Structures are given as structure tokens and as C-alpha cells.
């Protein structure tokens, strides 16, 4: 009890214990996130089995090339995030800040491109839940609506997670700018890095399942 | 076992053999009006009996232990069990439980598989559930609401669908039930062997009127049933109006029998997968048939030419629905062929 | 349990400083991060929600006295059972034992000063309150009317907006569940006291661990399912709509993927509680500790693969029905093992009949009935008759009320001296326990017969032949209500007038009993204990004097 460092919270004995608790907490959180996306993927897979051709044909309406570039962008942001974690570990304040801002930039790019795709989708008439947004002429348009609803649900859920991630990154950038407690920054960026990596993985899964596999 | 004894008496109201609707004050077990009901009951009472013996034994054991080893009583309390013996003990009481469960599973599965396998040569009756009533349609087109007449000793297959939410056909006297889903067809079959009137309930919560969505199944002698069926006014059904349209607009010229122009035969296609000329398959459901009438060139059936004119603007939406009903009826007739 | 514990001498009377008098202001409660105070916040919130759900249940039982449906309209009745189900399942039963006793005891039982994430713990309560407010708002918006199961397309296309508000409330409270579960797992993994190895953990802690795993993996699926119901209703992003080729069964699969494990979320904590009760009041090492642990873990894993047994007659394929049926029998085996083990624990014990023990024993009896009837309806051939009848209602109330609430009551009496530092009146306690047992069986026993007679659930009006049994059930409910009201009164009374409790009134071995009642702020007065014994080591514990005998 006596020689406990100040930043160790009362319930922990050592800093090591506290950090490993934080990491475990994040892993567990990501497990629940996986189940969240997993539930929707399960639904998509089940409905794809029910109407395979309709779903596959409807998928051709999606902008897979634009989203391929977008995937590369997002993976790059994952790289810059990982580099930011190394930079902060080396206590390089400005490099960390630069890498975080770069990550934010790529994230914003991704979300903007996603928004552009949504606008295109409306122009192409594949938005079934907006008045005047649906004039799809492929196989069984009524059932193809189901595919488009899944598409918007999955990508929308992902975009929502991205936005949360962006907010966290902004907070991190600000804290890095202030540079009060570098040791604490290392731990914080590790946690946020976990989350950002999860967002990447989730996107790659979505891209593969609904853009690429039907082709 | 007590229940079985009570039930067999309670179900019999005076006058009607096996009547389920009526005058008793307390109901325990509904009458068992099908062979299936008897096998369900047998399994149920076996399971209740065995469970009862287990529960009683454990209750007595717990009671005895609690009294014998109550605090303050002088009794030998030396208790030493080796880990090995402990594990063997666990194994020895787990094994019979597991085996009994397997037996229960097997016995239940036997009944279930039989109940959920389509029977041979049934009478098909179409059932439509909607908030909050049941519609029945007999093969000859006779229709009734909330009451279903069936002949005794014949296999009856209910072909069920819903127009809105999920309902459930539940006939306790037959010990069967099945959900009725919108957008898809479910089936249920029974072979009533006792003449009588039996309750029919909706068993899946379907909104405010759920508890009023009740009806009766009336099991009649063959001759009585035939008489009843004869007495029914067979109405001018949508399918019949559809048949008239089908002839009036010349559909029958190509789509029927041996016509000169080669067009797909429509008997029995409803609900079936259809191969298309582009190598894909679609299900011939309402949406597909409607599309084919309005946009015939879109999805051509494999092996046919694009010969059909569009009927856009020539048929109203209601008329299209009637034609679809007719095509459904063709499917039923096709299916009802021996 | 374990513990050659190094502790300051327990004070003979009420301690001067403890977690309760560590600040009296409202702010000190609403901003607390002390796990014991957060447990109190949950006690208040849960009791309030229990009263809402209980009132709805009482009205349902009064309505069903006559077959005609003359007390309330069909619309009101529909709302009553929807509210009863939603409130009781998500706002009482699921958080009941974990968020109160789990919060209060878990750190103490493993020898920690607090949870791993105290602020997330507090946040969990706030999130719960937001969810509860959404439910209360939905009551004012007309009350949900699609049942607690939210089956599509009824909920998405035919129900009122209040149904969707309630769905959002459930969605929100799911995050509270997840936060608490996350806290439990990390705390158990990272904050065990020196010497507290995995196989020295009390069974209650193991039950919290198993239940946290279930919560973490099942709740997100419910969240996404209800989210999709909500966006379908309000935005039109429909993935369940049968009109566009969606499958109404998809909702049921996703819903029961959560909601079957949810039954075990309610049940497993009560198994943990009862393991503590039986060992304490029999003063005996639990029989087959390792087997008890593994059976609990087996239940929580296997319960993810049985959801289809809710859908035997819903339209799933015959093959999957059989697989789910078999899995259901498999998951029943560990439960049977636990019952045998509790029974054997009594053998050669030193048994007293204090109130918590009465609850413990009634738990075994009621769980036995609930479990065995569950086995009966796990059989596909029988379920196609009994599905959706009052037999099902009776079965799951034996599990969710008979087992889970009885264990909750048992826990409340058992740990009340620790939580408040005062004893409840013992004679009243026993009387209430027996009343509750009789009232419960009186209420739900007749419902088994109703189910066998074929009465479907969720019926506002019913054929008159079912009236006598319904009246019997309602009569039982009166007794049950009295049984629930009594503890509410004498617990409040005991807060001021109850006898002052010693640190270890039951002579139990658990770490939580080795600290004063009520405990100080960080549980063990600064130092955390060192554990050197296996749990429930009553063989070497002189319960009368609270002294360990022999070396660990």
C-alpha cells in the first residue's frame, strides 16, 4: 500500500495490473461489438441464402470501385494509427500529433466518400426507404429492396462507429497537443488504436461480403 | 395419471361424443380426437410420471436430510470423500439422467417428425389468418369463417398463410399447432377419428383481438360432410372471376393445353421455382406473376420466346389479383389430383 | 470460503465509519463510485421497477378471474402483459442479482477494494435509469402493446409508437448490462487478492463470471435486433418485412439467440446465491466444487445453442427443431447435476432453518419443478401440443420467479446484515418465506393444469371452462402478493429498529464476512486480505467463535 505510484487507482495494486485491466476491458468490449455486427451479418447471410440471385444482381448496383479506393484509404488510416502508437511510445509529441491528424484526415476522407456513394445511390434509385429514391429495374425489385436495406443498415452501422472513432481521435489529438502526461497518452492511444483497428476489420468484412462476394 | 382419468370424463359433454365446446365447468384434458393426440398424451404422461417420481424422491431425501442433520442434533457428521469417489458419484447420477433425456428426445422426435412430414393423399383446405378471423376454403371453393367442417377418418391438410401478422392454428383436441406466417405457406395435418366439435384457438399473439380469434372444428360422418358440402353456396370466387378474365383476354389461347403458340403451362407453377432464359431461377410468386403480365419481356422462361404482349393498361390491379388467384387455384387443382 | 485473513479486530458494535455514513448528501450518492453504494442505487431502481411490473401482474390476475374480459379493455390488457413482461425481464430479472448483490459482493468476495472500472459501474446505473425512463415515457405514450417478445411484423407494422419507445428503452438498458458484465469479467480476472486462485473463488463469483460471459455475447445481438425493429418502424429500413421477401422467422432467430441465454442470465446468479446459502446454513463444504463450476460454465456455453426450442412450431425446419431439442436436453444435464450436488451437500451437514435457508430450500423445490417441466416441453412431440399455452407460462415463471426471485429474496435476507449492519426480524422472515412459497405454488401450479387443458397464453377473454383454474391461480396470487409486501415492510423497519448485526452473523467463511458490517469504504480497511484456504472450508472453521482451526 505504501509505495503505490500516484496514477494507480485505489482498487489496483500496481500500474501493471491497472494497464492489463484496461486492455482486457477493451478486448471484451470489442467482443461485444463483434456480436453486434455479427447479428446483422447473420441476418444478411440468412436472407442471402433465401434469395441468392436477387441479392447478387442487386449488389451490382453498388459502387465497388469507389469503395475499393475507400478500403485502401481506411487501411492506410489504420497504418498511420499504428505509427502514432509507436510515435507516442517514443515520446515524440509533434510526430504523434501529425500522425493522429493524418489518421483523422483519412477517416474524414472515408466518410465523405461514403456520403458521396449514398448520394449516388439516391440518384441511381436504390434507396427504398426514401420517397422517390427507388426505381431499381433489376430482378424482382420488391425483394431487392431487402438487399438494399441490409446494405444501408450495415454500412450505416459502420459509419456510426467511424464517427465515434473520429470523435475519440479528435480528443486524442487535443490531449496529445496538451501533452500533460505522456505515459498516460501511451495507454490511451493503445486503447483507441484497438478500437480503430476493429473498425477497419469490420469494414473489410462488410466490403467483402456485400460488394465483392456477389461479383 | 390422475389428469388422464379426469380428462376423459370432463371432455364428454352430453349428446356430442367428444364435444369440446360446451357445458363442462372445469376442463382438464381436452378429448383426444386423433391417433396423434393419443401418442402425444402417452409420451406426456410418461414424462410427467417419471419427473414426478424424481421430484418426489428428491423432496423426501432433502426433507429427511434436513431433519436428521439439523443443528443441535447429536449425530455422526464425519464426512470424507476422495476426489476420485466424488467424481464417480457425479458420473453415476449423471448417466441415468442423460440416458433418460435421450429417451425423451427420441420419443418426442418420433411424434414430431410424423406430425411435420407431409401426408399422402390428404384433403387440402386453404387457411388464411387475418386480424382477427380464420378463413377456410375447401377444394370445391366452399368457404367458411371461424368454423371448419371436416370428414371423420380422412387426412386433412391445412395449407395456411396469413395476410398480416403471425397467427397460429391450435387445436388442443388434436394436440397440434403451427404458426401461420405472412408471405409464406405452412402446413398442418390431422386425421380426426372422433366425431364432435372441437375448439380452435389462435395461439400466437396477433394484436388486440387475439383472444377472440377462436373457432371450431366440426368433425362429421362422411355422409353428413358430403351433405353439408353440397348445401354450401359456392360463391363467385376471385379465382372464378380470374378464370373468366383469363379466357376473355385470350390468355387461355396460349397458356392452356395444346395451343398453337408455344407458351408455358401455368398449372401447378404457383410457388415453384422457374428457370429463366438468362440462366437464373425465380419463384413464381404473386410479384413475379404480376411482373410477367405487365412486363412480359423482362424475365423470359427458359426455352420460350418473347411472344407475349404486355397487358399494362388493359387490366386493372384488381383484375390482375383475380388472375393470380386463378393461377393459384390451378396450382391447388394440380396438387389435388390423385 | 477461504481466508486466513489478516484484519483489524472487528468492532463489537456498529462501526463508526462505514460506506453508508461516508456522506449523506444526494450528491454523494449520485456521484459515488463505491460499488456498495452503486448496489444501493440499483436496489432502489429495481424495487421501483418491480412494483410497476408487479402491479401489471396483479391487474392481469384480477382481469382473468372472469372469462369475459370485463375489468379492463382488450387494449389495456394487451398493454398490461406487454409492460409486465418488458419491465420484469429487462428491468428487474436480468439486472436483479448481478447489479445489486454482484456489485455489492463481488469485490469483497475476491478481496478487492472496488470494481476494476468504478466509473463505468456508475455509468451503468445511469444508463439503466435512462432506459427505465424510456419505459416510463412509453407508458405515458400509450404503453407498448406487442408483447415483451416484439415479434415482427406485429411490432414493426401494426403496433403503436409506444412499443418502439419501449424497444429503445430495452436497447438502452442493454448497454447497462454490457458495462456491468465487462466490469465483472475484468474484475475477476485482474483483481483477485493474493492467494485467491480460480478454484478458490466462491461459487457466487463463478456464477457472476458465467453470467457476464452470457451478457457480453448475447446482449449485442438483442441490441442490433431491436435497433432494426426501430429503424424499420421509424425510417423504413426494413430487414424483417415479409412483403419485400423478408422472413419473419429471422427476427425470432435473432431475438431468441439473445433471449434464451437471457433465461440463464436470470437463473445462473440464483444458482450462485443458493450455493452460498446451502453451504452456510449446512456449515459444510459444497459437494463437488469443481463439478459445480464446470456445470455452470457448461450451462452458459450450451445455452447459446438451444434458442430454436422456442420455435418448434414457428416454421423452422424439422431438422433444426430436432437439433435444438437435443441440445436442450443436453443443457438440462448440468442443471440436474447441480440439484444432486446441493442435496448431497446437506448430507452430514449442520443445518439450521434460518430464513435464507428456507429460501434456499424453496429454490431447490421450485427449480426442480421448473426444470423438469422444461424437460417435458423440450421434447418436440410434446411441445407441439403445449407450446404457447399456460403450461409454458407456468414453466418459465417457476424458473424466472420461483427460482430467480426466490434466490433474490434469499440473498436479500442473507446479506442484509452485511449491507445494512442490522438484522431483519427473523420470525417475520420465516413467515414471509413460507407465505411466498405457498402463494407461488398456488398461483402457478393451476396454470400447469390450464396449459394441459389447452388455454393459450395472452388471452384477454377465454372459454368459461377455464374459469375455475384461473380463479384458483388468482387466489394464489393474493397470497403471493402478501408474501412480497411483508419483506418490503420489515426491511424498511429494520433499517432503524433492527438488532445490530455482528460482522459474521451466520458463521460463514466467505471473505465478505471477515470485514465489519456494514463494511468500510474500501472494504478491508486499506489492506487487502491474503487467501490461503479453499472455499467453504467449514471442516476447519469454528463457526460459533469465528476461528480457523488447523493450518490451511
Q: How far does the CA of residue C267 sit from the closest CA of chain A (Å)?
A: 21
Residues B103 and B89: their CA atoms lie apart, in Å, by 22
CB B125 within 8 A of CB B157: yes
Nine-digit cell string for B141: 371453393
DSSP H helices, C191-315, are 203-234, 248-282, 289-302
C86 to C82, C91, C168, C197, C402: CA distances (angstroms): 6, 7, 12, 39, 18
Contact of C349 with chain B, judged by CB distance below 8 Å, is answered with yes
Q: Taking Cα atoms as reference points, which of A179, A129, A119 lies closest to residue A149?
A: A129
Contact of A53 with chain B, judged by CB distance below 8 Å, is answered with yes
Q: Kindly determine whether residue B51 and residue C158, on different chains, have CB atoms separated by under 8 Å.
A: no
Q: How far does the CA of residue C115 sit from the closest CA of chain A (Å)?
A: 7
On chain B, the residues whose CB falls within 8 A of the CB of C385 are 37, 40, 44, 172, 175-177
CB C37 within 8 A of CB C104: no
On chain C, the residues whose CB falls within 8 A of the CB of B208 are 74-75, 78, 145
Chain C, 139 to 158: residues with Cβ < 8 Å from chain B are 145-147, 149, 151, 153-154, 157-158
Contact of A140 with chain B, judged by CB distance below 8 Å, is answered with yes
Q: Taking Cα atoms as reference points, which of B170, B90, B160 lies closest to residue B130?
A: B160
Amino acid B4: pLDDT? 40
Residues C211 and C253: their CA atoms lie apart, in Å, by 21
Q: Kindly determine whether residue B282 and residue A139, on different chains, have CB atoms separated by under 8 Å.
A: yes
CB B289 within 8 A of CB B330: no
A126 to A35, B193, B222, B254, B320: CA distances (angstroms): 28, 55, 56, 36, 26
A40 pLDDT higher than 60:
yes
Residues C205 and A32: their CA atoms lie apart, in Å, by 21
User: Lowest-confidence range among A45-54, B53-62, B293-302, C503-512?
Assistant: B293-302
Nearest by CB: A32 against C216, C236, C245:
C216
Q: Kindly determine whether residue C384 and residue B109, on different chains, have CB atoms separated by under 8 Å.
A: no
A28 pLDDT higher than 50:
yes
Question: How does residue C8 score in pLDDT terms, banded at 50, 70 and 90?
Answer: very low
On chain B, the residues whose CB falls within 8 A of the CB of C146 are 205
C37-87 pLDDT, tens digit per residue, is: 999 999 999 999 999 999 999 999 999 999 988 899 999 999 999 999 999
Q: Which helix (H) or strand (E) holds B239?
A: helix B238-248
C517 pLDDT higher than 50:
yes
Contact of A112 with chain B, judged by CB distance below 8 Å, is answered with no
Residues C359 and C491: their CA atoms lie apart, in Å, by 16
Q: How far does the CA of residue B287 sit from the closest CA of chain A (Å)?
A: 8
A139-174 pLDDT, tens digit per residue, is: 788 888 999 999 999 999 999 999 999 999 999 999
Q: Kindly determine whether residue B201 and residue C145, on different chains, have CB atoms separated by under 8 Å.
A: no
Residues C154 and C314: their CA atoms lie apart, in Å, by 15
DSSP H helices, B11-82, are 35-68
* β-sheet bridge partners, residue B217: B148, B198
Q: How far does the CA of residue B248 sit from the closest CA of chain C (Å)?
A: 30
On chain A, the residues whose CB falls within 8 A of the CB of C224 are 36-37, 39-40, 157
Residues B30 and B8: their CA atoms lie apart, in Å, by 8
Q: Kindly determine whether residue A53 and residue B282, on different chains, have CB atoms separated by under 8 Å.
A: yes
Q: Residue A132: which region, alpha, beta or left (left: phi > 0; alpha: psi -120 to 50)? A: left
Residue to mutate among B273, B284, B298, B302, with most A CBs inside 10 A, is: B298
Nearest by CB: B211 against C312, C384, C459:
C459
Distance, CA of C148 to chain centre: 17
Give the neighbours of chain C: at least 3 Cβ pairs within 8 Å: A, B
A89 pLDDT higher than 60:
yes
Q: How far does the CA of residue A55 sit from the closest CA of chain B (Å)?
A: 12
> What chain A residue is nearest to C119 in terms of C-alpha separation?
A9
- Strand-strand pairing, B186-191 and B273-275: unpaired
CB B207 within 8 A of CB B65: no
Residue to mutate among C176, C224, C252, C523, with most A CBs inside 10 A, is: C224
The interface predicted TM-score (ipTM) is: 0.91
Residues C337 and C343: their CA atoms lie apart, in Å, by 10
Contact of A143 with chain B, judged by CB distance below 8 Å, is answered with yes
C286-308 pLDDT, tens digit per residue, is: 999 999 999 999 999 999 999 99
Residue to mutate among B23, B172, B184, B282, with most C CBs inside 10 A, is: B172
Residue to mutate among A149, A164, A210, with most C CBs inside 10 A, is: A149
B257 pLDDT higher than 70:
no
| Crossing angle (nearest 10°) for helices C426-452 and C355-378 | 10
B149-207 pLDDT, tens digit per residue, is: 999 999 999 999 998 899 999 999 999 999 999 888 899 999 999 999 999 999 999 99
Nearest by CB: C147 against B164, B183, B205:
B205
- Strand-strand pairing, C541-542 and C547-548: antiparallel
Nine-digit cell string for B5: 382419468
Distance, CA of C326 to chain centre: 26
Average pLDDT over residues A185-207: 93
On chain A, the residues whose CB falls within 8 A of the CB of B274 are none
C3 pLDDT higher than 50:
no
Q: Taking Cα atoms as reference points, which of A166, A154, A163 lies closest to residue A202?
A: A154
Q: How far does the CA of residue A106 sit from the closest CA of chain C (Å)?
A: 28
C143-173 pLDDT, tens digit per residue, is: 999 999 999 889 988 888 899 999 999 999 9
Q: Kindly determine whether residue B183 and residue C248, on different chains, have CB atoms separated by under 8 Å.
A: yes
B22 to B212, B225, C468: CA distances (angstroms): 16, 22, 15
| Average pLDDT score, chain C | 92
Residue to mutate among C283, C313, C366, C387, with most B CBs inside 10 A, is: C313
Question: How does residue B8 score in pLDDT terms, banded at 50, 70 and 90?
Answer: very low
Query: Percentage of chain B surpassing pLDDT 90?
Result: 48
Residue to mutate among A53, A56, A136, with most B CBs inside 10 A, is: A53
Residues in chain C: 552
Distance, CA of C359 to chain centre: 14
Residues in chain B: 338
Chain A, 158 to 197: residues with Cβ < 8 Å from chain B are none
Question: How does residue B15 score in pLDDT terms, banded at 50, 70 and 90?
Answer: very low
Residues A157 and A161: their CA atoms lie apart, in Å, by 6
Q: How far does the CA of residue A159 sit from the closest CA of chain C (Å)?
A: 15
C313-339 pLDDT, tens digit per residue, is: 998 999 999 999 999 999 999 999 999
On chain B, the residues whose CB falls within 8 A of the CB of C245 are 183
Nearest by CB: C248 against B77, B166, B212:
B166
Amino acid B260: pLDDT? 59
C27 pLDDT higher than 80:
yes
C544 to B68, C349, C360, C418, C422: CA distances (angstroms): 20, 15, 22, 18, 19
> What chain B residue is nearest to A50 in terms of C-alpha separation?
B283
Handedness of CA A45, A51, A56, A61 (dihedral sign): negative
> What chain A residue is nearest to B280 in terms of C-alpha separation?
A53
Nearest by CB: B166 against C154, C246, C372:
C154
Residues B20 and B31: their CA atoms lie apart, in Å, by 7
**Which residues in chain B belong to E strands, given as ranges?**
123-130, 133-137, 143-145, 147-151, 155-162, 167-171, 176-180, 186-191, 196-202, 215-220, 273-275, 281-283
Residues A106 and B156: their CA atoms lie apart, in Å, by 65
**Chains A & B: contacts with CB separation below 8 Å:** 12
Q: Kindly determine whether residue B107 and residue C287, on different chains, have CB atoms separated by under 8 Å.
A: no
- Residues from B contacting A (CB-CB < 8 Å) are 280-282, 287-288, 291, 299
Q: Kindly determine whether residue A140 and residue C245, on different chains, have CB atoms separated by under 8 Å.
A: yes
Local structure of residue A60 (DSSP, 8 states) = T
On chain C, the residues whose CB falls within 8 A of the CB of A35 are 216-221
Q: Kindly determine whether residue C239 and residue A128, on different chains, have CB atoms separated by under 8 Å.
A: no
Question: How does residue B287 score in pLDDT terms, banded at 50, 70 and 90?
Answer: confident
C123-150 pLDDT, tens digit per residue, is: 999 999 999 999 999 999 999 999 999 9
Q: Taking Cα atoms as reference points, which of C52, C49, C66 lies closest to residue C474?
A: C66
Q: Kindly determine whether residue B281 and residue A140, on different chains, have CB atoms separated by under 8 Å.
A: no
CB C526 within 8 A of CB C507: no
Q: Kindly determine whether residue B112 and residue C380, on different chains, have CB atoms separated by under 8 Å.
A: yes
Q: Kindly determine whether residue B280 and residue A139, on different chains, have CB atoms separated by under 8 Å.
A: yes
Residue to mutate among A43, A138, A194, with most C CBs inside 10 A, is: A43
B2 pLDDT higher than 50:
no
Amino acid at each position: 500500500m505504501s509505495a503505490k505510484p500516484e496514477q494507480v487507482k485505489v482498487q489496483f495494486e500496481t500500474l501493471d495490473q491497472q494497464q492489463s485491466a484496461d486492455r482486457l476491458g477493451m478486448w471484451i468490449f470489442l467482443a461485444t461489438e463483434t456480436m453486434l455486427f455479427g447479428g446483422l451479418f447473420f441476418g444478411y447471410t440468412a436472407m442471402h441464402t433465401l434469395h441468392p440471385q436477387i441479392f447478387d444482381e442487386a449488389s451490382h448496383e453498388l459502387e465497388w470501385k469507389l469503395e475499393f479506393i475507400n478500403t485502401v484509404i481506411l487501411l492506410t488510416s489504420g497504418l498511420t494509427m499504428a505509427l502514432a502508437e509507436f510515435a507516442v511510445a517514443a515520446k515524440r509529441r509533434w510526430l504523434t500529433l501529425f500522425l493522429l491528424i493524418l489518421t483523422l484526415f483519412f477517416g474524414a476522407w472515408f466518410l465523405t466518400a461514403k456520403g458521396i456513394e449514398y448520394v449516388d445511390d439516391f440518384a441511381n434509385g436504390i434507396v427504398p426507404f426514401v420517397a422517390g429514391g427507388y426505381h431499381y429495374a433489376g430482378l424482382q425489385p420488391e425483394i431487392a429492396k431487402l438487399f438494399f436495406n441490409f446494405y444501408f443498415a450495415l454500412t450505416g452501422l459502420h459509419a456510426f462507429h467511424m464517427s465515434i472513432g473520429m470523435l475519440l481521435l479528435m480528443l486524442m489529438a487535443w490531449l496529445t497537443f496538451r501533452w500533460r502526461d505522456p505515459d498516460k497518452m501511451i495507454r490511451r492511444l493503445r486503447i483507441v488504436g484497438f478500437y480503430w483497428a476493429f473498425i477497419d476489420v469490420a469494414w473489410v468484412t462488410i466490403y467483402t461480403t456485400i460488394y465483392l462476394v456477389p461479383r | 395419471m390422475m389428469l388422464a382419468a379426469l380428462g376423459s370424463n370432463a371432455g364428454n359433454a352430453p349428446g356430442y361424443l367428444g364435444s369440446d365446446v360446451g357445458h363442462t365447468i372445469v376442463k382438464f384434458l381436452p378429448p383426444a380426437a386423433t391417433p396423434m393426440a393419443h401418442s402425444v398424451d402417452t409420451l406426456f404422461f410418461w414424462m410427467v410420471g417419471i419427473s414426478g417420481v424424481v421430484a418426489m424422491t428428491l423432496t423426501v431425501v432433502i426433507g429427511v436430510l434436513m431433519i436428521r442433520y439439523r443443528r443441535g442434533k447429536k449425530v455422526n457428521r464425519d464426512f470424507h470423500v476422495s476426489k476420485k469417489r466424488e467424481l464417480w458419484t457425479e458420473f453415476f447420477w449423471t448417466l441415468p439422467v442423460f440416458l433418460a433425456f435421450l429417451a425423451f428426445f427420441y420419443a418426442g422426435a418420433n411424434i414430431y417428425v410424423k406430425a411435420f412430414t407431409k401426408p399422402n393423399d390428404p384433403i387440402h383446405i386453404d387457411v388464411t389468418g387475418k386480424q382477427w378471423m380464420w378463413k377456410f376454403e375447401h377444394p370445391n371453393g366452399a368457404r367458411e369463417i371461424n368454423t371448419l367442417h371436416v370428414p371423420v377418418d380422412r387426412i386433412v391438410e391445412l395449407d395456411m398463410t396469413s395476410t398480416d401478422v403471425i397467427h397460429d392454428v391450435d387445436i388442443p383436441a388434436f394436440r397440434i399447432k403451427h404458426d401461420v406466417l405472412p408471405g409464406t405457406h405452412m402446413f398442418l395435418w390431422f386425421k380426426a377419428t372422433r366425431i364432435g366439435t372441437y375448439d380452435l384457438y389462435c395461439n400466437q399473439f396477433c394484436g388486440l383481438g387475439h383472444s377472440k380469434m377462436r373457432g371450431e372444428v366440426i368433425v362429421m360422418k362422411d355422409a353428413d360432410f358430403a351433405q353439408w358440402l353440397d348445401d354450401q353456396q359456392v360463391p363467385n370466387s376471385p379465382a372464378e372471376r380470374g378464370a373468366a378474365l383469363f379466357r376473355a383476354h385470350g390468355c387461355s389461347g396460349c397458356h392452356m393445353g395444346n395451343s398453337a403458340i408455344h407458351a408455358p403451362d401455368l398449372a401447378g407453377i404457383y410457388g415453384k421455382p422457374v428457370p429463366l432464359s438468362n440462366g437464373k431461377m425465380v419463384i413464381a410468386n404473386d410479384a413475379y406473376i404480376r411482373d410477367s403480365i405487365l412486363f412480359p419481356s423482362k424475365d423470359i422462361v427458359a426455352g420460350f420466346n418473347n411472344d407475349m404482349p404486355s397487358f399494362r393498361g388493359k387490366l386493372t390491379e384488381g383484375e390482375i389479383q383475380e388472375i393470380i388467384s386463378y393461377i393459384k387455384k390451378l396450382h391447388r387443382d394440380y396438387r389435388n389430383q390423385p | 470460503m477461504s481466508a486466513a485473513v489478516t484484519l483489524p479486530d472487528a468492532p463489537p458494535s456498529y462501526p463508526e465509519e462505514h460506506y453508508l455514513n461516508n456522506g449523506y448528501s444526494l450528491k454523494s450518492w449520485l456521484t459515488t463510485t463505491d460499488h456498495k453504494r452503486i448496489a444501493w442505487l440499483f436496489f432502489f431502481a429495481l424495487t421501483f421497477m418491480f412494483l410497476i411490473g408487479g402491479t401489471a401482474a396483479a391487474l392481469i390476475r384480477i382481469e382473468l378471474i372472469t372469462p369475459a374480459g370485463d375489468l379492463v379493455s382488450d387494449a389495456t390488457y394487451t398493454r398490461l402483459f406487454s409492460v409486465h413482461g418488458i419491465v420484469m425481464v429487462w428491468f428487474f430479472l436480468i439486472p436483479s442479482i448481478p447489479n445489486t448483490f454482484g456489485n455489492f459482493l463481488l469485490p469483497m468476495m475476491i478481496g478487492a477494494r472496488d470494481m476494476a472500472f468504478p466509473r463505468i459501474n456508475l455509468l451503468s446505473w445511469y444508463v439503466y435509469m435512462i432506459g427505465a425512463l424510456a419505459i416510463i415515457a412509453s407508458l405515458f405514450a400509450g404503453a407498448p402493446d406487442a408483447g415483451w417478445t416484439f415479434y415482427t411484423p406485429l411490432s414493426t407494422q401494426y403496433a403503436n409508437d409506444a412499443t418502439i419507445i419501449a424497444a429503445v428503452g430495452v436497447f438502452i438498458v442493454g448497454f447497462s448490462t454490457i458495462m456491468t458484465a465487462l466490469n465483472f469479467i475484468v474484475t475477476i480476472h485482474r483483481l483477485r487478492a493474493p492467494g485467491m486462485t480460480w478454484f478458490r473463488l466462491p461459487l457466487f463469483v463463478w456464477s457472476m463470471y458465467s453470467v457476464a460471459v452470457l451478457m457480453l455475447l448475447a446482449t449485442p445481438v438483442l441490441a442490433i435486433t431491436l435497433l432494426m425493429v426501430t429503424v424499420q418502424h421509424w425510417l423504413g429500413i426494413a430487414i424483417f418485412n415479409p412483403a419485400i421477401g423478408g422472413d419473419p422467422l429471422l427476427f425470432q432467430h435473432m431475438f431468441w439467440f439473445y433471449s434464451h441465454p437471457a433465461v440463464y442470465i436470470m437463473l445462473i446468479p440464483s444458482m450462485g446465491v443458493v450455493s452460498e446459502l446451502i453451504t452456510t446454513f449446512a456449515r459444510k463444504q459444497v459437494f463437488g466444487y469443481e463439478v459445480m463450476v464446470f456445470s455452470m460454465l457448461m450451462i452458459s456455453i450450451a445455452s447459446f445453442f438451444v434458442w430454436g426450442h422456442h420455435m418448434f412450431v414457428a416454421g423452422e425446419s424439422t431438422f433444426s427443431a430436432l437439433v435444438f431439442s437435443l441440445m436442450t436436453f443436453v443443457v438440462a444435464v448440468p442443471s440436474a447435476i447441480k440439484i444432486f450436488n446441493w442435496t448431497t451437500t446437506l448430507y452430514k451437514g449442520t443445518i439450521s432453518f434460518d430464513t435464507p435457508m428456507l429460501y434456499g430450500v424453496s429454490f431447490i423445490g421450485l427449480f426442480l419443478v421448473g426444470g423438469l417441466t422444461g424437460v417435458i416441453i423440450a421434447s418436440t412431440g410434446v411441445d407441439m401440443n403445449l407450446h404457447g399455452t399456460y403450461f409454458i407460462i407456468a414453466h418459465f415463471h417457476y424458473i424466472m420467479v420461483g427460482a430467480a426471485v426466490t434466490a433474490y429474496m434469499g440473498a436479500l435476507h442473507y446479506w442484509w446484515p452485511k449491507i445494512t449492519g442490522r438484522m431483519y426480524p427473523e420470525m417475520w422472515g420465516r413467515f414471509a418465506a413460507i407465505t411466498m412459497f405457498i402463494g407461488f405454488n398456488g398461483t402457478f401450479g393451476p396454470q400447469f393444469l390450464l396449459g394441459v387443458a389447452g388455454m393459450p397464453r395472452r388471452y384477454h377473454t377465454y372459454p368459461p371452462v377455464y374459469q375455475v383454474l384461473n380463479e384458483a391461480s388468482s387466489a394464489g396470487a393474493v397470497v403471493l402478493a402478501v408474501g412480497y409486501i411483508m419483506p418490503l415492510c420489515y426491511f424498511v423497519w429494520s433499517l432503524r429498529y433492527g438488532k445490530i448485526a455482528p460482522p459474521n452473523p451466520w458463521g460463514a467463511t466467505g471473505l465478505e464476512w471477515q470485514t465489519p458490517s456494514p463494511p468500510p469504504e474500501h472494504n478491508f480497511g486499506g489492506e487487502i486480505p491474503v487467501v490461503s484456504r479453499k472455499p467453504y472450508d467449514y471442516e476447519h472453521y469454528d463457526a460459533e467463535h469465528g476461528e480457523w482451526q488447523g493450518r490451511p
